[in-house]
Structure 1
């Protein structure tokens, strides 16, 4: 297998598609720094499966995508493909040529391909396992990684040897199998947990199945009795239906007779009605004639009235029109007057505008004069400000120099003081030395050796004794402190779950309760857990289950106390708290004391009787725990529940809870510190007691240590003094003469130093006089400049005042000009308005004249109308007189017909009354029939319901129902039996109807899980065998490869260094596969030394020797070295090339990125990387003839 081609597009600096074809032999890649040579190495590593972006010299994954330059835009993806010849089937695939491609987009999405087929990155990594071409191997060495091989830890160096030994795949397989083992262990644990749960459930389900059988027997008896009762109902229904059907037949006959009588009466009534209708028609004719005559008269009368109204309207309208004519003539006169007034206003405004124009010209001239004067003033002001600036600068300079001279004077004064003090000190020293000289001559030797030595020895013995005692005490104290720390840690562990379970306000609560008790000493404010004196260890978990909701509740005296606490909650920032007022508890009715007689050893008793507490909280615990019965085991719990279910809550010691409502719960019996608050509280109390005892012990021991330390220190100090005295007595004799000589020398030295100090003092005094003179001159100059600056400031102020006045006058003038201009504009606007008004006036006048003409025409029209109306009124009066003569004859005929109608209608009423009586009789019969029909429907419905009920509920026909008629003597007895059976069912409690099925299912499930468990455990054993086999193969391969690499490393090392010795040593651990590898290098003519002490060139050669040895042991298809020869000189580079050109490595493909000329010369193919455009790498290739 060999490398054919590498194609790069959009990867780092390769913005354009670039292809690199590779031949056998050495290929060198050259180019200046920063042109993108190392990006080729990164491309190789990335395409072979590298995921760590840091090892590709980036911060984030998108850093490897071409980011563009001033011309080219950034690309949205990067792509690298690698083509390999696989004719020798080195890679475990069928293809002769293998193409690996990786692609990444800016979104972070990646694509991987093997021969154009999409795959996972894992597939690429697995493909190159044991070929020496995986992401971090000896075959691809990036820039600067040569030194890392030597600087790496021995354990980190091992991965190179694993790759050379081709065991990375075995390690990968081992990792997979270990993962599988872990999964199998998890599965086994799950199965164990499930089977234990199922077994617990089977016990309960078995008991429930028994209950179900007895329930079914009761239900069968109830069914038979219910069918007997249904038969009784059915029989009653049948007899009633036959009676009702007989009655209905009789009612039908009566009903038919009544119908015939009603029909006869109706015939008579209809004939009479026809006669009446004819008479009514005749009457209507005469009525209509009479009405028509009256109507005509009314129409004519209304027409007449209308004409009269019209006449009145026309007269009124004529009067109004005459009025309007008068008003229009007046308006025309007013318009003429307005037009004359407007023309006079126009003349006035024109005269005023001429005078305003002259005024503006005068004001503009005045404004120009003032502005010229203001400009001259501003020039003077700017000049004076410049002078002021210069003066201020000079003033600052003088101030600074003055300060400098003052500081130097102060320093001189300080130095003078120091010199004087030194002189006084020297004089005093001289006096002392003279006195010492006289004293040393007087002192004689005094010997007190023997007494001091005896005392010194006794003190030493005492010190040793005290040291032993102190050591023992300190060991004891350390032990106790260590125990305290362990106890504190244990306390923290116990407190942690309390905090996580929502008890973070525990400290606040304690403080609050203590403060509350101080405020109200008569009240109670304690947690319920604190009120329990003792819970026997046997019942701790049970009490935890029973008092789960109330353990951390606050017990208070009464409801008012509870309200006080609620008000204080927000002030103390406490969370929600549950409170139990004792006065409310007193009102709750508790169960009587003779509740249940304990007839069984396995019944422990009621929960409130099993714990210890104060007598005054008896009612509280009776309410909370009085209805909870504690039993030994599940079986007893189930037995007791059969008798007392619905009365008591039953809890077994192994965690089964049967609630009053019949629901069942199971709790684990293990002491869970996260839930068992009482146990935690108890243990914390015990720990606190032990800690206080230990602290008392420590304080006692500390006091003893303090006392012994004081004795020890006093003895030590005494011995020190004795030792000093003994040494001084010995030295005094010898040092006396030396001290005298030293004193005489120092006296002479101090005399000389006094002379030097007096000379120095004189020099400083002269310097001080010169500086004080200069200071005086500077002060004079400063005063003159400050006076000059004051005068200029006054001038500037005066100019500012004048400028202010000028500005105000300019403002006033400009205001006046603006005002006049505004007036002119207003006048112009007035003229426009007046002109508009004149036009409007003329328009109004014309309109009024037109209106006058119209009104006169309307008056003429109305006069004509009035004449026509008067004519019509006369005609209508004539017609009314004619109609009044025809009306009386028609009225007489109508009255005669009315009398006949009255007689006939009375006869009709009589016939109708007879008919109504017949109908009432008919309705009575009909109603009785309807009632009987309703009863028939009701009984029929009951009959159908019975039929449907027995068919649906019992799946029986009515014929079979008769089989149940002799089951009971009477309905009463049947109902009593049903009630008794139903009471028995109620006593059974909640019935699980799926118990039998669930029991069988769970049993089957338990068996299948057991089978699964056995299968999985067998699989686990086989996996463990596989791991041991993998380890065996890996160890053998690793040993073999290590020995090969060891020999090759020594040979190559000797060739590179022309002698010396290179050794590899395994740091044997328990497991050879996890052992580190040490490198020992002995250079020719030198001793064996640590590799860290080698020079950079020596390190590089050693690392190269190791890489080549690894490659020789397991040759990879190609090798890529990025600047491994950087640290080498020409001779060493030549040695490296000779080895690379050697017989062993001649047939391999070598790719070297280099700057060395010797390496370039040795290359068969040369690739040059340049950057013609900034940020884009370009390739140039050369192939050399052999």
Structure 2
């Protein structure tokens, strides 16, 4: 297997798609430092599965993707493809049949990495399996990069051992042994789990055997307990019936006494109400008199407060007048002071204005002479700069022309040499065979057309497959879903029908009805329907009568008095009369919510539901029950029943509970079942059709894929031949055309450069003659410029001094003006303040004259007289109210005495009613318990003896209960569980035996692999030592070297190199020089190659530390080994380059891009 091509795109510096052909067995890669040569080695290592960014000279794996340059943007994908020639079929596994193998790896910027072999997506492990035992891989000895030579020599014994294993070809054994160990570990874990389960199951069997014995005792105690409990219930039912009759008589007597006392209380309450009305009138009179008193008190307080306020205001105004007179005197003094300061500042302002005018005249005189000096200075500076610029331009032009002439001479010499080389190359080129190439092209075109047709047909089928699969899945899921829905509906309907039948066929009642040939008769619930939501209401009113049996003549039931039914049962007689709805105001009758499917039941419903009305909820029932007439009922949707004097809460304790709702649901389910059966059959038909279409498409796709692969293989073989011939022809023709164009360009460029050289020489002579005169002119202009600069500086100093004096005078004038303005403002403020104070004093004098106390004092005296009169009226009204309160209190005490006599009577009646209800509920409860337990009261009554007492029966029940409790938790299913556990133990025993045999088999396989590995490693170790003993002297011209083991067991021992060059007795390999270490490592690698030659070997500047003599020996050895192994090497050494059959040059014409 030989490497024939390397294709890179976006990998490190190879941003553009780059094709590196590897045509021979000795291929050299050359180029300057940093041009990307080692990136080719990294690319090969990367494709072979290297996963460490550090070994690819990066920090993260994304560093292998081109990251941009000065002129290029980063790319998002890197790909490298290695193409191998496998015409000898040496590749391992399923790829041996391919004459050419392509291994490709692609990495996206987002981190997704993919491997392909012959364009098939594979795992990284699949790529590694191809090269197992060949010396190739991410870190195998066949790829030697920069620095790896020294790492081989200085490697730890464990690391050096991996090279020996790769040479021995046991990498695949290692992998198989690792897989076997994993399987052995899984088997041992499974065996441990099975043993744990068996151990636990054994304990469980012992426990279940004990539980089965306890279960038998439990059934015996349970039967005795059941009989005793039934007898206790029967006795307590009889006691409750007797107690209920006695309490009913006592309750009737107490009710008569309660009604008489209640009448007396009503008379007392009427008199009390009359006295309350008189008390209310007296209370209103008191409130009126008290309100009038409050009103006059408020008026008196207001007048007293107004008089006090009038006096305070007068004192305040007199005080303010005194303060204002003092402010007027102070303002007149400040006015005189400000007028004197104003006269002084006006004199100072006149003097400052005169100084400003004098300084301004001097500044204008100096400033008028400044522009002339500045103009003279600017003219001299411009002349000097112009002269300097002309000199600089001339010097620059001389340098440019000199450089241009030298460049032209050098370029002409290069063009002559290049033209000579191209002429020699053109003579050596030969053309390819055009007829063979054209024949291959025609065959390829034909295969391409057929392959394209096959691929299009396959693509069409593969596009159809997902759609057909989706259709099939959808139709299958739809059919399954419809079938499940149908089964659910059928199961629900069956369960409901079974429950309805059980309602009519329960216990001893069914036997009694069967004996009297009544079992098949129509029940009441079968002939009626009620609006949804009102089922509980109808059940609460009718109760067991819902299950009433229809007879042609109800008189027939008189014959069953001698042998009555064993439980509650009702019979009714059908009639053709229409149902009459009861009416009670605007109330809705329960009958109005019922629809009779059987008209014969209408009359009995009219009797049973007469005066039964519905309310929306229990709250409305409690609110409206008091207005009901005698015998009328209210019922809410929850089933709670209200009468005028009672309320009964509904609970689902009847065997007919839910019978109406179930019947309506059964009818709805029957309709749904019929509709869904048709849907299921249609869905199954669609699923079968979809499956047929899918299988047909799959068969066609398989056949078409085989045809396409066969055509692809034939086309691939022809492409290789065509590419080989076309590349030869294209390269020759392309090169000839390129040489012709280059020779023409060289001729044109030579003529152009000669002309430019002559012109540059003439321009250079002219410039050298002009530059001396220009330099003299520059010196003269500089002297004139310096004199003008001195005169300008003196003039500027004089102008600045005059400006400073003028600014000082202006500042002094502004300060005096500001002071003058401030004094005028202050004077104006003083005048305005004096006028304001005088005006305020005038207003206060007017206000003082208006403050008079006499009118308010007269009003206050009148209000005090009125308050005395109204206090007298309030005292008389309070005396009348106290008299009414005394009379009301006496009447209230009489009513309370009557209520005290009434309360014990009411409590007595309530207590008797509760006890009667308690006895009745107890009787019904015990009767219901007997019915629920399926007990036969007639049979039980025969077992009741004369001296049997409930307490004794309860004691027996307690004893049996304690015996059952003493048994503890009882597993009634222990016998069945015991049998299942025994069967499971038998199965687990068999499974444990199988697992132990599997463990033994896997352990023997590992021992066999270890034995074969040990033998092969020992044989390889001996052979490598023999090869090393030959290679080392060949490279060094003498000396000795060998490998030694660091342990006794070859499977675990490491390796060390012992090397002694000629004439040296070094104790350690680390004492050797860099070149000696490199030769030692090469000797070891080549010794491994002799034993197990890798398909190819990559060497990256391994000859760098060698001198010329050692390099020649190295090259001779490589040439000998090239008979078995393909070598591709990177080198800067000319001796090594001469060894190559082909040279591949790598450059970087654009920075960062190889």
Name the TM-score class by shorter chain: 0.3 to 0.5
Q: TM-score when scaled to structure 1? A: 0.42
TM-score of the two chains, using structure 2 as the length reference? 0.43
